[in-house]
Chain A
Amino acid sequence: MKILVCISHVPDTTSKINFTEGDTKFDTNGVQFVINPNDEFGLTRAMWFKEKQGATVDVVNVGGAETEPTLRKALAIGADGAIRVNATATDGFFVAKQLAEVVKNGGYDLVIAGRESIDYNGGMVPGMLAELTGANFVNNCIGLEIDGTNATAVREIDGGKETSSTSLPLVIGGQKGLVEESDLRIPNMRGIMMARKKPLNVIEAADTAAETTAVKFEKPAPKGAVKLVDANNIDELVNLLHNEAKVI
């Protein structure tokens, strides 16, 4: 089984979010980038398929040279090879098109992406990629088993979960639950050394136009100070929620 894990390179969860150039560009100054958390769960599940079922695992990112440390980290965690499609990821559709080329050329059976990236939060790439490559698709995936070309996938739904049977080729939008947090791996020294020797192929982007453009960013208006209510005056809270906030 050939697995491709899509890796989005995103600001660490604690990053301060600022914009430059008239609020048109994300300010990367002082920002630490990491593997998108949803993709890290997916990569860890892929490692399980590699170790238990002999799968080969490649990782891919659509981005500039600055994303290579993130791909190297994925290699250090255990991926066999990495691909970087050399382009600026302008929108979800553009990325999905690029990834579809990689999937077709590489003959991957299973593609593991994340349910959403924590920067642009599009939640678009996995579904688009599934459709562009004609693969089956399970989003919000919190459990995946593969047996030959058959797959059983668990999807988180509003208020519960749903188990489906499907088959390869398959694209999933994964998230926490695919593996437990305690299963996530921190690259060790040996992994880091080995990652240096693993292939990281840079390929040129296919010609595609984006369908959406981020015109401008904006930060939420600064919030007013919290209104504190005395713990012995709960009536006041009820009153505020009813008359001021109008939420009850």
Chain B
Amino acid sequence: MSILVYTESEQGKFKKAAFEVASYAKEVANQLGTTVTAVAINVDDTSELGKYGVDKVLKVSEDTLKDFNAKAYAATIQQAAEKEAAKVVVVSSSADSKSVAPILAVNLSAGYASNVVAAPESTSPFVVKRTAFTNKAFNHTEINSDVKIVGVSNNAFGLVENSGNAAAEAFSPSLNDALFGVKVESLDKVTGKVTIADAEIVVSAGRGLKGPENWGMVEELADVLGAATACSKPVSDLGWRPHSEHVGQTGKPVASNLYIAIGISGAIQHLAGINASKVKVVINTDPEAPFFKAADYGIVGDAFEVVPQLIEKLKEFKANNA
């Protein structure tokens, strides 16, 4: 019996979340006195997983898994879990993992807790803390089934270095045609940009920026910080920014280490989606803007004056700390 972790990749390289879920799996393995096995799909070099405590890697090389497919990926992870007689399976909170986990849960007869923000508080009974009510509360959830699936919230546990062999072993799942009922026809994806889901820092702007022509400074600030860009809902509704940047209750969830909100009022529906971020900075002309109540640091000021200065100061800081 070991802990199985699904380590996600993109174009043959692990995502940062893969190392975070591996770190989490190692913590669970320590609690249960066992080891961690990872399953990786179409990744050539899996050695880096050792750094995060993975002992063994089941390497899957399958052309049919080149495009994401929820059922086929779930079947692969299921077979890996069965091979390892895993009692706990750890996955991330990416869009893909959230599609896979429920299917896996049915097929492994496993209870699944999503959006988990901390290591298990006990293993018998198995209790984890997860967010609920769009980050307005936490819910301590007991998983009662024999096999358990834990979906770890992004940036909640962090990367924890450990040592492991990451001994690679080829693994070929048996995948029948029936699993491929959904076929990817086309992909429309911004490449070379940090995505909101992966980002440690998110720079977000709202209607206070007046128009799409003013986003240059937002992008520049994001660039300096290696951050992803995001926006409030009206901004994407107005077509100033793409829908994929819309964050909040009805948009993408954000759980970054740092969230910088520029010209965003801080409506409850906006906050609900970004509250899981650890440190929040608000820049707003209106000292009464509700965002100031939810933020850690604030500047009452005009974005058009503050942001260019912040960019300069951060560049200086970077140069001095390089």
Flag whether A37 is at the interface (Cβ < 8 A). Answer: yes
- In the bound complex, do residue B297 and residue A227 qualify as a contact, i.e. CB atoms below 8 Å apart? yes
Flag whether B101 is at the interface (Cβ < 8 A). Answer: yes
- Kindly provide the distance from the CB of A208 to the nearest chain B CB, expressed in whole angstroms: 12
What total of chain B residues lie within 8 Å of the partner, measured CB to CB? 95
- In the bound complex, do residue B98 and residue A211 qualify as a contact, i.e. CB atoms below 8 Å apart? no
Flag whether A189 is at the interface (Cβ < 8 A). Answer: no
Flag whether A49 is at the interface (Cβ < 8 A). Answer: no
- Kindly provide the distance from the CB of B280 to the nearest chain A CB, expressed in whole angstroms: 9
- In the bound complex, do residue A156 and residue B143 qualify as a contact, i.e. CB atoms below 8 Å apart? no
- In the bound complex, do residue A121 and residue B133 qualify as a contact, i.e. CB atoms below 8 Å apart? yes
- In the bound complex, do residue B132 and residue A156 qualify as a contact, i.e. CB atoms below 8 Å apart? no
Bound-state Cα–Cα, A164 to B68, Å: 11
- In the bound complex, do residue A159 and residue B195 qualify as a contact, i.e. CB atoms below 8 Å apart? yes
The residues in A between 123 and 177 inclusive whose CB is less than 8 angstroms from any CB of B are 123-128, 130-132, 136-140, 142, 152-153, 155-167, 173, 175-177
Chain B residues contacting A136 (CB-CB under 8 Å) are 181-182
Bound-state Cα–Cα, A237 to B135, Å: 26
- In the bound complex, do residue B317 and residue A228 qualify as a contact, i.e. CB atoms below 8 Å apart? no
- Kindly provide the distance from the CB of A156 to the nearest chain B CB, expressed in whole angstroms: 7
- In the bound complex, do residue A215 and residue B140 qualify as a contact, i.e. CB atoms below 8 Å apart? yes
- In the bound complex, do residue A212 and residue B141 qualify as a contact, i.e. CB atoms below 8 Å apart? yes
Interface flags, B186-230, vs A, CB<8A=1, else 0: 111111010111101100000000000000000000000100000
Majority DSSP secondary structure for residues of B touching A: mixed
Interface flags, B173-186, vs A, CB<8A=1, else 0: 00000000111111
- In the bound complex, do residue A131 and residue B297 qualify as a contact, i.e. CB atoms below 8 Å apart? no
Of the listed stretches A60-68, A80-88, A190-198, A216-224, name the one at the interface; the rest are far from the partner chain: A216-224
- In the bound complex, do residue B196 and residue A248 qualify as a contact, i.e. CB atoms below 8 Å apart? no
Flag whether B293 is at the interface (Cβ < 8 A). Answer: yes
- Kindly provide the distance from the CB of B270 to the nearest chain A CB, expressed in whole angstroms: 10
The residues in B between 250 and 295 inclusive whose CB is less than 8 angstroms from any CB of A are 250-251, 257-258, 268-269, 272, 275, 278-279, 281-282, 292-295
- Kindly provide the distance from the CB of B227 to the nearest chain A CB, expressed in whole angstroms: 10
- In the bound complex, do residue B112 and residue A92 qualify as a contact, i.e. CB atoms below 8 Å apart? yes
Q: Given that A138-B182, A237-B310 are contacting pairs, would A226 and B293 also be in contact in the complex, using a CB cutoff of 8 Å?
A: yes
Instruction: Kindly report which residue of chain A lies nearest to residue B135, judged by CB atoms.
Output: A220
Bound-state Cα–Cα, A143 to B300, Å: 40
- In the bound complex, do residue A160 and residue B190 qualify as a contact, i.e. CB atoms below 8 Å apart? yes
Q: Given that A92-B112, A137-B71, A175-B250 are contacting pairs, would A160 and B305 also be in contact in the complex, using a CB cutoff of 8 Å?
A: no
Of the listed stretches A9-17, A51-59, A70-78, A102-110, name the one at the interface; the rest are far from the partner chain: A9-17
- In the bound complex, do residue B182 and residue A120 qualify as a contact, i.e. CB atoms below 8 Å apart? no
- In the bound complex, do residue A166 and residue B297 qualify as a contact, i.e. CB atoms below 8 Å apart? no
Flag whether A186 is at the interface (Cβ < 8 A). Answer: no
The residues in B between 111 and 127 inclusive whose CB is less than 8 angstroms from any CB of A are 111-115, 127
Flag whether A204 is at the interface (Cβ < 8 A). Answer: no
Flag whether B61 is at the interface (Cβ < 8 A). Answer: no
Flag whether A202 is at the interface (Cβ < 8 A). Answer: no
Flag whether B103 is at the interface (Cβ < 8 A). Answer: yes
Flag whether A241 is at the interface (Cβ < 8 A). Answer: yes
- In the bound complex, do residue B181 and residue A247 qualify as a contact, i.e. CB atoms below 8 Å apart? no
- In the bound complex, do residue B300 and residue A226 qualify as a contact, i.e. CB atoms below 8 Å apart? no
- In the bound complex, do residue B313 and residue A235 qualify as a contact, i.e. CB atoms below 8 Å apart? yes
Flag whether B96 is at the interface (Cβ < 8 A). Answer: yes
Interface flags, B226-238, vs A, CB<8A=1, else 0: 0000000000010
Interchain CB contact (< 8 A) of B184 among A119, A122, A162, A216: A162
- In the bound complex, do residue B144 and residue A213 qualify as a contact, i.e. CB atoms below 8 Å apart? yes
Chain B residues contacting A166 (CB-CB under 8 Å) are 181-183
Flag whether B306 is at the interface (Cβ < 8 A). Answer: yes
Instruction: Kindly report which residue of chain B lies nearest to residue A122, judged by CB atoms.
Output: B114
- In the bound complex, do residue B269 and residue A13 qualify as a contact, i.e. CB atoms below 8 Å apart? yes
The residues in A between 222 and 242 inclusive whose CB is less than 8 angstroms from any CB of B are 223-224, 226-231, 234-235, 237-238, 240-242
Instruction: Kindly report which residue of chain B lies nearest to residue A151, judged by CB atoms.
Output: B182
- In the bound complex, do residue B185 and residue A124 qualify as a contact, i.e. CB atoms below 8 Å apart? no
Chain A residues contacting B107 (CB-CB under 8 Å) are 131
Interchain CB contact (< 8 A) of A214 among B74, B141, B317: B141
Chain B residues contacting A131 (CB-CB under 8 Å) are 71, 74, 102-103, 106-107
Q: Given that A124-B105, A234-B309, A248-B317 are contacting pairs, would A241 and B132 also be in contact in the complex, using a CB cutoff of 8 Å?
A: no
Interface flags, B43-74, vs A, CB<8A=1, else 0: 00000000000000000000000001011001
Residues of B whose CB lies within 8 Å of any CB of A are 68, 70-71, 74, 94-96, 98-103, 105-107, 109-115, 127, 129, 131-145, 181-191, 193, 195-198, 200-201, 225, 237, 243-244, 246, 249-251, 257-258, 268-269, 272, 275, 278-279, 281-282, 292-302, 305-306, 309-310, 313-314, 317, 321
Extra A-B contacts (7), CB below 8 Å, given A127-B101, A128-B105, A217-B138: A124-B102, A160-B187, A160-B189, A166-B181, A211-B110, A215-B141, A231-B301
**15 pairs across A/B with beta carbons < 8 Å?**
A124-B101, A124-B114, A139-B95, A156-B95, A158-B197, A160-B244, A161-B188, A162-B68, A162-B188, A163-B186, A163-B188, A164-B182, A227-B297, A235-B313, A238-B310
